[in-house]
Amino acid sequence: MRHSGTVTATRPADLMDVRATNLALVLRHVRLHAPCSRADIATATGLNKATVSSLVTDLIERRLLRESGLVGSRIGRPATMLTLEGRPYAAIGIEVGADHLNAVAVDFTGSRLLTWRRAAPGPDAPPGRTVAAVAALAARVVGKVTGQGRTVLGLTLGAPDGLVDGLAAQLERSLHEPAFEVVVEPAATLAALADLRARVGCTDLVHLHGGIGVTAGMIADGRPLRGARGLAGAVGHLIVDPGGAECACGRRGCLDLDLGLPGLVRRALGEVDVPDWGAAVERIVALAQAGDATAVGALTTAGARLGVAVRMLTDVLDPSIVLLGGVLAPLAPWLVPAAAHPLVEPSTVEPNAVALGGAALAFARLEAGALPS
Amino acid sequence: MRHSGTVTATRPADLMDVRATNLALVLRHVRLHAPCSRADIATATGLNKATVSSLVTDLIERRLLRESGLVGSRIGRPATMLTLEGRPYAAIGIEVGADHLNAVAVDFTGSRLLTWRRAAPGPDAPPGRTVAAVAALAARVVGKVTGQGRTVLGLTLGAPDGLVDGLAAQLERSLHEPAFEVVVEPAATLAALADLRARVGCTDLVHLHGGIGVTAGMIADGRPLRGARGLAGAVGHLIVDPGGAECACGRRGCLDLDLGLPGLVRRALGEVDVPDWGAAVERIVALAQAGDATAVGALTTAGARLGVAVRMLTDVLDPSIVLLGGVLAPLAPWLVPAAAHPLVEPSTVEPNAVALGGAALAFARLEAGALPS
């Protein structure tokens, strides 16, 4: 038997855990409050000053913190201020999109080191071609970052649900068993984590990620909601238009019929065979801006249907905000008013939400105590 | 900024935490594997034998564990076996139902000490009368349990969402500021925790709790899902019958119209003014067992609508099971087949799921490290 929220202890604690916990605590405090002094950290954390000094020395030796000069205080001698040392480390996030790959690398201070966008084999290509394209891009990003003298701490792929299984293992083989960890997560979950990181104080949110279909990334009490089999957030077949058109899933009026790229492009542009989804979305935006009735009508209908799904999700999950990402982000100016729900807003971290969420995940492990040695 | 699932450290760790964590770890191991020896615990936890002996001595002094005799082992001398010492402590859970109060007290081994059911003022009564009735019952339960020489570790109330605010504070005043903690949680959340405790290895489940309305208790990755404002699980107004009757909420075809007690009783019994919901449900069960077409028809329709809601919830949350509780439990023989969803089953901990979940919550705090001194 296991129980509930409050029970998390599953392994014994020892002195190394205490030190790792406190190192992570100091690191996190400096990320949120830099520049700050050792005395500031002691006051804020409740750790004594000698312990803080020892922890800070350790973090400076690990090249995670650095001293950034003196600041005079009103009482006593000037204090040495501390800030994050971003340069030695990097984390990489790669989005496997509908027809593109999007890679970012960031340093520990959050500075973007690179943002690369590439055409991808697309959802109909054999999985092997997608893996090969991702592996080639990942190898180039790793090469670039390590060529700058940085150590890669982790690489996270954001992939559509169907591709998640086995992708990490294949990629690790392609990268010749790298020293860093390779993780694959649903794209929407990573985008939701990126939104969470960008929203101070927010603990419960939903990110609706638009692509070939719509999926939801959900954060509850600060943690991603994954489900028993990792399939949570499959909102594309919520029924939002009862009695509507039949869906391939056998139901009628599913969200994906109006919001997924194939349906949306067909209604907004009247086109079925689209070689480039990104270009099609750009054309929809241009037409809607010009007041084209067909495009605006398709977006208004889609937004209303989105509103129905958002009401279901807010009833069930009680988030403080619902963010639109992926291809829904550029369409937000039309979708948001039509959704007519007070919690719906465009994500502020697009177009790189998935990749940034992936990179952030590697650094989050640092602050959970997994420090580089 | 805060991040993600893996980041939980928000306060410094110290040596007391290490000891509390390890005490809780040993306690939890004995609960799951009793009777077991000190050597068993050392092997399973990775703690060294001297540490385990010291922790066990401490737990015996706190009267949480006791020695239960010798067992011969194949090698070496016989080992002293350990088991939970249930008697000194009790936890209390009280359900505030549609027209009843249901109280249980359990000891730390999970043995039921008492189960009391009382008529309650009902949902239309002024909140003050409900609080007074709950306080009177709570005082009698506390008196009974302490009269047996037990220490009460905690009291949890399961209440409909609207009553949660302020109820704990009022109850603490009525109980003259007791030494134990008084907590109020949504009824469905407690019922879900009771289901979780009863299902070894399950981490993601939904409990649909039927009463005046239907609410969902949701467990994700072993933790209750509460939402930004504590309002998660408000599934009663999910639209399950598009174009159906208008609901007081302004939508049409809400789940509560068919599954909430007022609608269900009206359709199954043809009665609007029901003085006793419990008796009405018993009559519906009796009629359905006798094959009454009206009752069976109402339950079949309700079950089909329930199935629509379950599909939405499983798409979003990906639970491994959806359990029917509250007044849905006795109706499960008709609701489950009509719902036509493979994950739907009656809860195995009814009719005391809410109260048992409440009592379990107090003991869960023990295993999270909040040991009695």
**Predicted pLDDT of residue A160:** 76
Residue B118: pLDDT above 50?
A: yes
* Residue A324: strand pairing partners: A208, A346
**Predicted pLDDT of residue B169:** 84
**Predicted pLDDT of residue A265:** 95
Cα–Cα distance list, B339 to A362, B6, B75, B195, B304 (Å): 42, 37, 55, 20, 5
Instruction: Name residues 295-314 of chain B within 8 A of A (Cβ).
Output: 308, 312-313
* Residue B93: strand pairing partners: B104, B156
In CATH terms, are A16-84 and A89-191+355-367 the same topology?
no
Interface contact B45-A369, CB threshold 8 A: no
Residue B285: pLDDT above 70?
A: yes
Q: Which CATH number fits the domain B15-84, given the four candidates 1.10.530.10, 1.10.150.110, 1.10.10.10, 3.40.50.170? A: 1.10.10.10
Q: Does the A16-84 domain belong in CATH 1.10.10.10? A: yes
Residue type, position A57, single letter: T
Cα Rg, chain A, nearest whole Å: 23
**Predicted pLDDT of residue B164:** 64
- Greater model confidence, B365 or A85: A85
Interface contact B5-A224, CB threshold 8 A: yes
Residue for token pair 């998935």: A354
The string of DSSP letters for A206-263 reads: EEEEESSSEEEEEEETTEE---TTS-TT-GGGSBSSTT-PBPTTS-BSBHHHHHSHHH
**Predicted pLDDT of residue B8:** 36
Interface ipTM > 0.95: no
Residue B207: pLDDT above 50?
A: yes
Q: Angle at Cα B214 formed by Cα B213 and Cα B216, nearest 5°?
A: 145
- Greater model confidence, B364 or A104: A104
Number of DSSP helices (H) and strands (E) in chain B, helices first: 12, 13
Enter the tokens of residue B350: 């009814």
Q: Average pLDDT in the B62-75 region?
A: 81
What's the fold here for domain A202-346? Nucleotidyltransferase; domain 5 (3.30.420)
Domain limits, chain B: 15-84, 89-191+355-367, 205-346
> Does residue A176 belong to the interface with chain B, where contact is any CB pair within 8 Å?
no
- Greater model confidence, A250 or B145: B145
Number of DSSP helices (H) and strands (E) in chain A, helices first: 12, 13
Alpha-carbon gap, residue A93 to A141, rounded angstroms: 10
Residue B367: pLDDT above 60?
A: yes
**Predicted pLDDT of residue A73:** 62
Cα Rg, chain B, nearest whole Å: 23
Give the pLDDT band (50/70/90) at residue B81.
very high
Alpha-carbon gap, residue B166 to B127, rounded angstroms: 11
Alpha-carbon gap, residue A347 to A353, rounded angstroms: 8
The per-residue pLDDT for range B164-182, each reduced to its tens digit, is: 667 888 888 888 888 888 9
> Does residue A2 belong to the interface with chain B, where contact is any CB pair within 8 Å?
yes
Nearest of B238, B261, B262, B264 to residue B251 by alpha carbon: B238
- Greater model confidence, B108 or B357: B357
Closest B-chain CA to A239: B312
Residues lower than pLDDT 70 in chain A: 1-16, 72-76, 123, 161-165, 373
Interface contact A221-B222, CB threshold 8 A: no
Chosen for mutation from A247, A316, A323, A348 (greatest number of chain B CBs closer than 10 Å) is: A316
**Predicted pLDDT of residue B33:** 87
The fraction of chain B above a pLDDT of 90, given in percent, is 61
Alpha-carbon gap, residue A283 to A292, rounded angstroms: 11
What's the fold here for domain B205-346? Nucleotidyltransferase; domain 5 (3.30.420)
Residue B76: pLDDT above 80?
A: no
**Predicted pLDDT of residue B78:** 80
> Does residue A343 belong to the interface with chain B, where contact is any CB pair within 8 Å?
no
* Residue B326: strand pairing partners: B210
Name, in order, each residue with C-beta under 8 angstroms of B49's C-beta and a sequence gap of 6 or more: B38, B39, B42
Alpha-carbon gap, residue B181 to B153, rounded angstroms: 7
Q: Which of A59-68, B269-278, B283-292 has the lowest mean pLDDT?
A: B269-278
Residue B2: pLDDT above 60?
A: no
* Residue B210: strand pairing partners: B214, B326
- CATH numeric code, A89-191+355-367: 3.30.420.40
The per-residue pLDDT for range A340-363, each reduced to its tens digit, is: 999 999 999 999 999 999 999 988
Alpha-carbon gap, residue A18 to A12, rounded angstroms: 11
**Predicted pLDDT of residue A179:** 87
The secondary element (H helix, E strand) that includes residue A194 is: helix A187-198
> Does residue B369 belong to the interface with chain A, where contact is any CB pair within 8 Å?
yes
